[in-house]
Structure 1
Amino acid sequence: MSTEDAEQLVISDDGISLPAIEVLTGRGVIFGKSGSGKSNSASVIIEELLERGFPLLIVDIEGEYYTLKERYEVIHIGATDKADMPLRETEPEEVVTLCLDRNRPVIIDLSEVMDMDPAEYFVDQVITILFSREKEARKPFLVVVEEIHEFLPQQGGLDDLGETLIRIAKRGRKRGLGLAGMSQRPAAVDKEFITQCDWLVWHRLTWKNDTQVVQSILGSEKAQEVQELATGEGIMMTDWDEMIRTVKFRRKRTYDAADTPTISPENRPDLTTDGTTSTVTSQQSPERTEPSETAEDAVTNGNGSDAPAESEPSSAGQSAESTNGEGDDGHDPEATPAPAERTQPAARTDETDSGDADDGLHIKSFEPPGSQRRTANTESSGGPSAYGTPPTTREDSVTDVPKKHADPPFEDGDSRTALWELGHMVAYVVATVLAIVARTGRNAIEYAKGTEAGPFDPLEPASTENGTAPLSRDQMVLVISGLLLLVILVLGFVMA
């Protein structure tokens, strides 16, 4: 297999492919409503990159991508016992070192996080450091963000993480840093990001606001077509070849954690009340088709890819020449970095599977539900993770349900416990009232500012015609009435 062929990511059974360098350093987005195949398509692209030894960073909101561990040596950072590294005890610099210096793909799993503010700050720090270091490293690297509308909303403004992602979308390509996002709602994603994308995939969409986004980019005909796509089909637009085509994405090789659960007749109890035995005649739900070569077969063959091993370019200069069109007369600082620096494959091998990886990492293997294929995993490797993987139960875990307040520092039955509880209740009520007052004041300022055409009419409800008023007239009256009632109660309590 030639180097040129090896750098193509095959995404369908009929051979449709994407250039690896365009995906790694470009900006892309995959849209599709739930059940349309969006997550599978993203996983296919990720698998193709991992098969070829390209590391990447995945920000996983739903906890769907840790199943890549079934086939690949992926570092899973999260808040569950499945994680290789605990989220709370990991430094952002560690993650960037794994990605750029040790060529390891990393998943930051936020699915079990209760408080998203510190988690988003952690992700922001990781991506900021990654963006800064790529200025010198110039190593093709992709950041994948699931549910990207959570961080790049169309309305409500951007926080620090959103601003960082927009910075990557605008300036990351020259540094070799790409960005790919997934979302169910195109209408909910910041249009500034969508306009920066040079490859887009549209799976089935039915909501009018979403199809209008398709119409504005692809035209009315495609906006109608996107509503009738079958599961797994997508309309793909790519800027590098200026093509728009319908693609049937292949099935992902690893276990699909995002697949909708099916009903199994064997697991249904007899719910009849007359004592007779009921017979379930429903057809057995079809099981997922396994790939022709399982992860265990890949381990046995010593090759985690379906394709033969590719030959590396003889020099970085040759790769840069083939990718950027530059000769040997010097380095072009504006050129897109060429993918010639990967030194370690991402596929699982016998050595790493037994917990004796040459880089010292002990990665927990993933076992699909009901599967007994693997017998050797990190639990039998003779010790805990090198990064201090947390036990199943941890008192300081971020997955712990937070209490409303701290437990009183008294013994059970102490008379001061009631006063302690009352104090916490009063503090909670005061904090809530202050929050309501602050929000009402901010909304009042927004009403006063109005739009370029003038202030809002307080007698008209908020709509697209009179601007983006944060509250309708009825909502505003309700808030003001509640505040007045509260003031009356407080005054009555003081005077009494």
Structure 2
Amino acid sequence: MTDIIGRCYGETSPNSLSFISKKTPTVNEYVYIEHDGRTIMGIIDTLLRGSFTLSDDLLDEDSIGRIIDIEGQSDQYIRGEITILGDLETLEIPRTPAPIGTPVKKATIEQLEKLFSSQQGITIGGVLSQPEVKVKLDVNKMVSRHLGILAMTGAGKSNATSVIIDELLALGGTILVLDMHSEYGKTTFKNGEKKSIPAKINPRDLSILEYKRLCNITDSATNQEKYLRDAYDIAKEKSTDGTKTVFIEDMINFAHEKANELENAERKNNSHIDAVNQVAFKLEDMIRKYRSILDSTDVSDIVSIIEPGKVNIIGLSSLDEKASDILVKHVLTEILNRRKNAMTTGKGKTLEYPVFSIIEEAHILASQKRNTQSKNIIGRIAREGRKFGVGLCLVSQSPKSLDSEALSQLNNLIILRLVEPSDQAHVQKSSESLSEELLKKLPSLNVGEAIVLGQMTRVPTMVKIDEFQGRSVGNDLDIISLWQKAKNEKEAKKEESKQFIDELGI
């Protein structure tokens, strides 16, 4: 028999309705009504309990207790608000409001499976109110329309990210993780292999524009740009003709030689001498600053060694923020350009398969307040990437610090617990699909619970994210165990020293 949990009352609208019940439904429970020949799905947003006998102006505790003893709780009722999700088949919102008195029924497992599990995709967890109903995400829309995974610290974003990676690996997906804390290098995935890529850029693979930025040569410094280009061309020529070369050193040597040539010329041009000396100085300063990523021409082209069907991980924890910024900007620019080449002219360097790039701690590189070199390319991929199979996933524990333009281009969100009002407001401002009702639920989510919304799911839903089955990442340190271990090791060393001294008879 159909489980009727209440009936519509008061004023209803096509988008919402109020209901009253003598049963005890739960917040976030899915329900349906039959209206205008269709099955209309909804979700319970709020619930209040009241009594027909005990009015609001009865303020005496003893009187309330005596009435309850006599009447019991049979006259109590539940009053709630339901948000309409749409027709079960098409998700169209009805054009007319439901009649007063329309039965509100508890959604069946079959209905919920049709709503959340019928599409092809990856499984990330179960419906929060009915965990046996699995939630599937449309991979094409998730990758092409981009994804944000947002949460406060400790809410479960690393687990959610790992679950998604493992599910994509099962489909043969190619994933690139730009790992700020080098956590994923320690992770094992059940459904596929990982590949660690060194956080190094071959100096030969940098463009002249990248050298300009790294050397802080402005567009107005035309003479410096001229000599930088000359040095770059000479180093390129040596690197392709079989001459043994150290690319940046070749550029610096050219600048010094050119400066000497200009110094010894019959007619000195001091402005040109100064310009070429500045180029040498700036190149030397650049290599001092960024030796950690530019110290060798032996490393492979970083994009060409991305392996399809694997999760490719670039650990950035050994780099400072500037070096990480440069590397991420370079890698993402190359990925986008090569995908464009592959899908248009076929000329130049190409990348023959789509890539889903996951950026951990994305608020550092795509900052709301600071201009970074990678910020522009992240925003560009967010706007253009879908045309060329370049997907983007921004993971952040500080959504308010994430660039609003990039955030607004993420058409899919997985939002775990967010308590800080400024984080909530920033996300809502940048996302049209995060309603006020959903926003109010963010602080009450438990660890691993999330609101999932966007084009990758038919309707916004509350999900209990599955527990990652591989080796976990991002867990808090067991401080007590580490303290105890250090103490025991110290005491053991002291005991060894004491025994050694006793044996020597000192």
User: Which of the five TM-score ranges fits, normalised by the shorter chain?
Assistant: 0.3 to 0.5
**Which one has the largest radius of gyration?**
2
TM-score by length of 2: 0.47
